[in-house]
Structure 1
Amino acid sequence: MELWIPITIAAAFCQNLRSALQKRLRATLSVEGATGARFVYAAPLALALLAALIWGRGDAIPVAPGRFHAYSAIGGLSQIGATWLLIHLFSMRNFAVATGLTKTETVQTALIGVVLLGDPMSLAGAAAILVSLVGVALISLPAGGVAQAGVSGKSALIGIASGGLFGLSAVAYRGAALSLESGDVILRAATTLAEVTLFQAVLVVAFLMWRDRAQARALAGAWRASSWVGLVGMLGSLGWFAAFTLQSAAHVRALGQVEVIFMVAASVIMFRERPTRREIFGVALVALGIVGLVLWGA
């Protein structure tokens, strides 16, 4: 089994757990505060990890060209916007449906990757992604059926926008990691993660201090719950960045749809939300697409 596969599955699990923890944070924090928890509390951990690699293993910090900083900034801003939209979506739909709406990300990631980085996409890989996307569409349908799920619906548009921004951030992070001139997979991923999370944390804190200082204090006061969001988010991001270094962002994000399976499980176990038969069938299609991608698409 290629290394990027287990790394991606682990990253998807962490991402789903982080989203569940962020949904719980909405009980005490605003959308902006819950969004910021991911970045503010992840940044010190990411810097500590990079320091441990440099001093513990004796690694040198990779030489970072200008495009590394540009890709990191684009990815960081896109991820903040995508996360804000996702958490806002939680207040409009149940956990499983809200996250499922963002999963058009896989197709958008493939297109962005081809345009920005020239990443290849085989016919089998594209077919596997589309099978998974059909599954995601089934999961995302509201109880009223197709007629109620028109793309003009506000929640659908927010989900698609969030997925697009997540896709842009994935491609940008791959571009950043590949632009580094030295270092193994873990060091490149940790270097990218440290720069991105520090950039994001500074932006979030500055925004909260400017617009809502009470929420900034609330975020600081919720450090116990937020620290878990930061830790899980940091581990998930490290996994994504490492996988992006090894494989195209489209393939990584497509395999990452295994998160949908974790997502439905979290919806049932943590939030007592009952999936419909259509959603269960959608999960099966997602799983089928993932298997196809791993066997024939990469």
Structure 2
Amino acid sequence: MELWVPITVMAALLQCLRTAQQKRLKGQLSTNGVNYARYVYGAPFAAVAFAAYILLSDAVMPAAGGRFLFFCLLGGIAQIVATSFLIIAFTMRNFAAGTTYSKTETVQTAILATVFLAEPITLGGWIAIVIGLAGVLTLSVPKGADGWRSALLGVTDKAALYGLASGGLFGVSAIGIRGASLSLGDGDFIARSLMTLAAVTCLQTVLMTIYMQVTARGEVGQVLRAWRQAAPVGIMSVLGSAGWFTAMTLQNVAYVRALGQVELIFTVAVSRFGFREAPTLRELIGIALVATGVVALLLVR
């Protein structure tokens, strides 16, 4: 088994656990506050992890230039804006359309990787991505016929447009991350991954701190005072990001994102075993499609 596969699965699991922890924080902090906690508590761990790896291993510190900084800024800013657009889509009346179209991220990422990184997807890879997308959409659309109708007929709705933009920007973020890592050359892939992670999260922390100080200054203090509850979010976030960044250093970002859809399976499992919520037939079909897409991706890409 190629190394990027278990790394991606672990990253998806950590992202699922981080999301569950973020939901617990929602009672104490605003949405922006919860997102800010990811960066402000995650960045120090990312920086320490990179420094420790360079000091304790035989790896040479990668040489970074303007190209690296450009891609880090591109990936970091795109991720922040994508998250904001997704939140906006969730708050709109036709949230089903927003949710559904945000899940086109994998397809948009595949197109972007082909165009900007010259990493084309094989026919088998496209088939696997589409199967996985069908499963994700099945799991994402709200229950009932109205959910599908609202999502499909609302393609021109503002929520759908925000969802599409969110998915596209998450794709841009993935391109930025891989571009930054590739710009560091062919050295130790862990050093390249950790350096990219540290740079991106530190830049995001600076940008989000400025934004929070301008728009919601009091929220920064609330995030810092809630460190006992917020720090685990940052730790799980940076651990998950380390997995994503490493996988994207090793493999085409479209394949990484496609395999990362197993997060939806983990989410349903948490609902079933953590909250005693029995999965519906539609959820089981969605899980089967995602699993089929993942297996197909690993076998025929």
Q: TM-score, normalised by structure 1?
A: 0.91
Tell me the distance in 2 between the aligned counterparts of 1:25 and 1:100: 25
Residues 23/14 of structure 1: CA separation in 2 closer, same or farther (3 Å cut): same
Paired amino acid for 2:226:
A
Tell me the distance in 1 between the aligned counterparts of 2:274 and 2:139: 18
Tell me the distance in 1 between the aligned counterparts of 2:150 and 2:275: 24
Deviates more, 1:47-56 or 1:264-273: 264-273
Residues 50/76 of structure 1: CA separation in 2 closer, same or farther (3 Å cut): same
**Deviation for aligned residue 1:159:** 3.3
2:88 is equivalent to residue 53 of structure 1: no
Paired amino acid for 2:251:
Q
Deviates more, 1:118-127 or 1:135-144: 135-144
Partner of 1:41: 41
Partner of 1:4: 4
Tell me the distance in 2 between the aligned counterparts of 1:270 and 1:161: 32
Q: Could you report, residue by residue, the CA deviation over 1:112-170 in whole angstroms, capped at 9, with x for unpaired residues? A: 10111011210000000001111111112222322122334555444333222111111
**Deviation for aligned residue 1:15:** 1.3
Partner of 2:66: 66
Partner of 1:210: 214
Partner of 2:190: 186
Structure 1: stretches of 5+ with no match in the other structure: none
**Secondary structure of 2:2's match?**
coil
Contact between 1:10 and 1:239, CA under 8 Å: does it hold in 2? Answer: yes
Tell me the distance in 2 between the aligned counterparts of 1:88 and 1:266: 26
- Aligned-residue Cα RMSD (Å) equals 2.3
Tell me the distance in 2 between the aligned counterparts of 1:211 and 1:166: 24
Contact between 1:23 and 1:90, CA under 8 Å: does it hold in 2? Answer: no
Partner of 1:167: 171
Mapping of 1:18-37 within 5 angstroms? 18-37=18-37
Q: Could you report, residue by residue, the CA deviation over 1:53-98 in whole angstroms, capped at 9, with x for unpaired residues? A: 12111433200121111011000001112233445566679xxx99
Mapping of 1:102-113 within 5 angstroms? 102-113=102-113
**Deviation for aligned residue 1:269:** 4.3
Residues 140/157 of structure 1: CA separation in 2 closer, same or farther (3 Å cut): farther
Residues 99/16 of structure 1: CA separation in 2 closer, same or farther (3 Å cut): farther
2:149 is equivalent to residue 147 of structure 1: yes
Mapping of 1:194-205 within 5 angstroms? 194-205=198-209
Contact between 2:36 and 2:205, CA under 8 Å: does it hold in 1? Answer: yes
Q: TM-score, normalised by structure 2?
A: 0.91
**Deviation for aligned residue 1:103:** 2.5
Mapping of 1:71-82 within 5 angstroms? 71-82=71-82
2:283 is equivalent to residue 279 of structure 1: yes
Partner of 1:267: 271
Paired amino acid for 2:285:
F
**Deviation for aligned residue 1:24:** 2.1
Tell me the distance in 2 between the aligned counterparts of 1:139 and 1:152: 22
- Count of aligned pairs between the two proteins: 295
Mapping of 1:85-104 within 5 angstroms? 85-87=85-87, 102-104=102-104
Tell me the distance in 1 between the aligned counterparts of 2:218 and 2:274: 29
Tell me the distance in 1 between the aligned counterparts of 2:82 and 2:43: 18
**Secondary structure of 1:41's match?**
helix
Deviates more, 1:19-28 or 1:126-135: 19-28
Please, which of 229, 233, 241 is the counterpart of residue 229 of structure 1?
233
Tell me the distance in 1 between the aligned counterparts of 2:209 and 2:224: 10
**Deviation for aligned residue 1:288:** 0.2
Partner of 1:252: 256
**Secondary structure of 1:180's match?**
coil
2:118 is equivalent to residue 114 of structure 1: no
